Amino acid sequence: MKFTLPIILVAVTAGLMTLALFGAGHSSGTVGIAAGSAVFSTKASTPEQGLNNLLADVQRRNWDRAYSALSTTSAGDRQSFIQDWTGSDGSLRSFSSLEGFQARPLHATNDDAQMRVRLHWTTPVGPIEDVRDFHLIREGGTWKVAWPKMQISSVPAQIIPVTYLRWDLVSGSGSDEWGSKNVDAPHVRIISMNAVDSAEGAVVMGEVVNEDTIPAFVNVNAALVDGAGKAIDDESSFDKIDHVLLPKQVTPYRIDFPNINLKNVKNVRMDVKATLVPASADPVIGVMNQKVVSDVQGKSILQGDLMNESGQTVNIPHVIASFYDNNGKVIWVSDGYVNRALLPQSGQPFAVEIPKSLAGKVQSFHVVVNQYSLVRS
Amino acid sequence: MSRMATIFALLLASSLSSYGADSPVRVQLDSTKAIPRSVESLTEQVILRDYRFAWTSIAQALEFNTLDPLEGAFTGESKQALSQSVTSQQRTGLSQRYVDQNHKVQAVFYAPEGDVIELHDTAEYQLQILDSGKLIHEEHVVVHYIVLMTPAADRWMVRHLQAVPQF
Amino acid sequence: MHAPASAIAGEEVTISTNGSGKATFYLLGPGVSRKSDVSLGSEVQLKAQDLQNAGEYFAFLCSDTCRSSSFYVTAAKPASLTFLVHPSRVPVGQGDAVSGVALPFDQFRNLVLTPETVNFHLLEGTASVFSRSSQTRDGIAWFRTASQKSAGTLQVDASLGDLSARRAVQQVASDPCNLRIKGERTKAGILVQTEPVRDCAGNPVPDGTIVSFTATDGNGRSTVDAPIKQGVARAQLEAPGATVISVASGVAMGNELRIGAQP
Q: Which long-range contacts (CB under 8 A, 24 or more apart) does C2-5 make?
A: C2/C69, C3/C59, C3/C69, C3/C70, C3/C71, C4/C71, C5/C71, C5/C72
Q: Count of CB atoms within 10 A of residue A63's CB?
A: 16
> What CA–CA distance (Å, rounded) separates C211 from C234?
9
> Do the domains A29-146 and A181-279 sit in the same CATH topology, yes or no?
no
Shortest distance, CA C73 to any CA of chain A (angstroms): 23
Q: Count of CB atoms within 10 A of residue B68's CB?
A: 11
Whether residue C86 and residue A284 make contact (CB cut-off 8 A), yes or no, is no
Q: Count of CB atoms within 10 A of residue A131's CB?
A: 13
What is the CATH class of C80-172?
mainly beta
CA angle A351, A354, A360 (to 5 degrees): 130
Chain B residues closer than 8 Å to A178 by CB: 76, 150, 159
Choosing among 3.40.50.800, 2.60.40.10, 3.50.50.60, 1.10.1760.20, the CATH entry for A181-279 is: 2.60.40.10
* Contacts for C184 with CB less than 8 Å, ≥ 6 apart: C190, C191, C259
> What CA–CA distance (Å, rounded) separates A311 from A343?
8
> What CA–CA distance (Å, rounded) separates C214 from C212?
7
Helix axes B76-92, B41-64, angle to 10 degrees: 20
Question: Residue A51 — φ and ψ, nearest 5°?
Answer: -70, -40
Chain A residues closer than 8 Å to B150 by CB: 178
> Do the domains C80-172 and C176-259 sit in the same CATH topology, yes or no?
yes
pLDDT at C232: 95
Q: Quick check: B33 contacting C, CB < 8 Å? A: no
CATH, domain range A285-372: 2.60.40.10
> What CA–CA distance (Å, rounded) separates C139 from C111?
6
Letter string b/e over residues C125-138, b meaning 16 or more CB atoms within 10 A of that residue's CB: eeeebbeeebebeb
Which H helix or E strand runs over B81?
helix B76-92
pLDDT at B14: 39
**Which three-class secondary structure state does DSSP give residue C145?**
strand
Whether residue A248 and residue C210 make contact (CB cut-off 8 A), yes or no, is yes
Architecture of domain A29-146: Roll (3.10)
Q: Count of CB atoms within 10 A of residue C231's CB?
A: 14
pLDDT at A174: 57
> What CA–CA distance (Å, rounded) separates C167 from C54?
28
Distance of CA A307 to the CA centre of its chain: 18
Shortest distance, CA B56 to any CA of chain C (angstroms): 17
State the distance between the two ends of chain B, measured CA to CA, in whole angstroms.
51
At B119, which amino acid appears?
L
- Parallel, antiparallel, or unpaired: how do β-strands C176-177 and C198-199 relate? antiparallel
CA distances from A328 to A192, A302, A361, C163 (A): 10, 17, 11, 56
Whether residue C28 and residue B96 make contact (CB cut-off 8 A), yes or no, is yes
pLDDT at A164: 78
Shortest distance, CA A269 to any CA of chain B (angstroms): 15
Q: Which of residues 86-145 of C touch A (CB under 8 A)?
A: 86-89
Choosing among 3.40.50.1950, 2.60.40.10, 3.20.20.370, 1.10.150.240, the CATH entry for C176-259 is: 2.60.40.10
Shortest distance, CA C10 to any CA of chain B (angstroms): 14
CB of B107 closer than 8 Å to CB of B121? no
Which H helix or E strand runs over C193?
strand C189-194
Q: Where are the domains of chain A?
A: 29-146, 181-279, 285-372
Region B110-118 average pLDDT: 95
Q: Quick check: C222 contacting A, CB < 8 Å? A: yes
DSSP collapsed to 3 states, chain A: CCCHHHHHHHHHHHHHHHHHHHHCCCCCCCCCCEEECCCCCCCCCCHHHHHHHHHHHHHHCCHHHHHHCCCCCCCCCHHHHHHHHHCCCCCHHHHCEEEEEEEEEEEECCCEEEEEEEEEEECCCCCEEEEEEEEEEEECCEEEEECCCCCCCCCCCCCCCCCCCEECCCCCCCCCCCCCCCCCCCCEEEEEEEEEECCCEEEEEEEEEECCCCCEEEEEEEEEECCCCCEEEEEECCCCECCEECCCCEEEEEEEEECCCHHHCCEEEEEEEEEECCEECCCCEEEEEEEEEECCCCCEEEEEEEEECCCCCECEEEEEEEEECCCCCEEEEEEEECCCCECCCCEEEEEEEECHHHHCCCCEEEEEEEEECCCCC
> What CA–CA distance (Å, rounded) separates C120 from B36?
17
- Which ranges of chain C have pLDDT less than 50? none
Least CA distance to A163: which residue of chain C?
C229
> What CA–CA distance (Å, rounded) separates A195 from A212?
27
Least CA distance to A273: which residue of chain B?
B153
Shortest distance, CA C119 to any CA of chain A (angstroms): 17
Mutate one of C156, C222, C228, C245 to test the A interface: name it (highest A CB count within 10 A). Answer: C222
| E strands present in C47-97 | 55-62, 66-74, 80-86, 89-91
CB of B34 closer than 8 Å to CB of B76? no
Q: Is the whole model's pTM more than 0.80, yes or no?
A: no
pLDDT at A175: 59
- Segment among A45-49, A155-159, B71-75, B127-131 with least mean pLDDT: A155-159
Whether residue C72 and residue B143 make contact (CB cut-off 8 A), yes or no, is no
Domains of chain B are 2-164 (3.10.450.50)
Q: Quick check: C47 contacting A, CB < 8 Å? A: no
Tens place of pLDDT for every residue, chain A, 377 residues? Answer: 444 444 554 454 444 444 333 333 333 322 334 444 555 666 788 899 899 889 989 998 999 888 888 888 888 788 888 988 998 888 999 899 999 999 888 988 988 999 999 999 999 888 988 888 999 999 888 899 998 877 767 788 888 877 778 888 776 655 567 877 768 889 999 999 999 999 889 999 999 999 998 999 999 999 999 989 899 999 999 889 999 999 999 999 999 999 999 998 999 999 999 998 888 888 999 999 999 999 888 889 999 999 998 888 999 999 999 999 999 999 999 999 999 999 998 999 999 999 988 989 999 999 999 988 876 54
pLDDT at B90: 95
Q: Quick check: A304 contacting C, CB < 8 Å? A: yes
> What CA–CA distance (Å, rounded) separates B58 from B65?
10
Closest CA to C104 of C75, C84, C81: C81
Least CA distance to A176: which residue of chain B?
B76
Q: Where are the domains of chain C?
A: 6-74, 80-172, 176-259
CATH, domain range C6-74: 2.60.40.10
pLDDT at A113: 93
Shortest distance, CA A220 to any CA of chain C (angstroms): 20
Taking one residue from A and the other from C, the number of pairs with CB-CB distance under 8 angstroms is 106
